[in-house]
Amino acid sequence: MKDLIPVWKPTNMTSYDVIRIIQSINSEIKVGHCGTLDPFASGVLLLCIGKNTKNISKFMLLNKVYHASINLNEETDTLDLTGRIIKKNNKSIEITKKNIEKSISDLTGINICQIPPYFSAKKFHGLKMYEYARNDIFIRRKPSLVDIHSISLKSYSNSSIKIKVNCGKGVYIRSIARDLAYKLKTYGYLKELIRSEIGEYNISNCYQIEDLPDVCS
């Protein structure tokens, strides 16, 4: 069996669902992912197998490319389409390319200060943040320093924006959606997310879910 398996994760499946599929084929192997993907998102998921799980931290340093669609004028508690709406902008706004590109510039660079979502896997006193948030306990989040190499504007309207993000480890695209909307003086959440690349891995060299029985046998 390969010691690194790049998988194209579909929507409506957790990263651990993919791991469980592999372990159902061979329960004796050790499997770990190199950066989770939310259930609503699709794209590249790198899985380390066996002794290669020791190298997960190395693979997590690889650059990542995301394609994101942002819904404007509303914010959800999860900062994506799965959450409940907690904020609405009822005022008329006019989104311009100039304003978006200025806001994008402010969010791009090395050591960008980013506040993670309440619903995140970051830990506080041994529990993941989303475990608190699910019980309506909202912990004050510490900002993280992250590298966002570029954000490209693909399309926009007064109600949505599509962007391409090239970034390093630990970046929350949901936080970019929130922060970009704030800079445009409105609210926003992710309604679609595709991780198209991790390092050299993309859809052309990833296995589909239905390929895993052959790959892991």
Which sequence positions are flagged as catalytic?
38
Measured in whole angstroms, the distance separating CA 10 from the mean position of its chain's CA atoms is 14
With beta carbons less than 8 A apart as the criterion, state whether 8 and 42 touch: yes
Q: Which residue blocks in 26-172 are alpha helix, DSSP H?
A: 56-59, 97-106, 129-133
Encoded tokens for 35: 């950066």
Residue 133 contacts by C-beta under 8 Å, 6 or more apart in sequence?
Answer: 77, 118, 119
Q: Collapse the DSSP code of 68 into the 3-class scheme (helix H, G, I; strand E, B; otherwise coil) and give the result.
A: strand
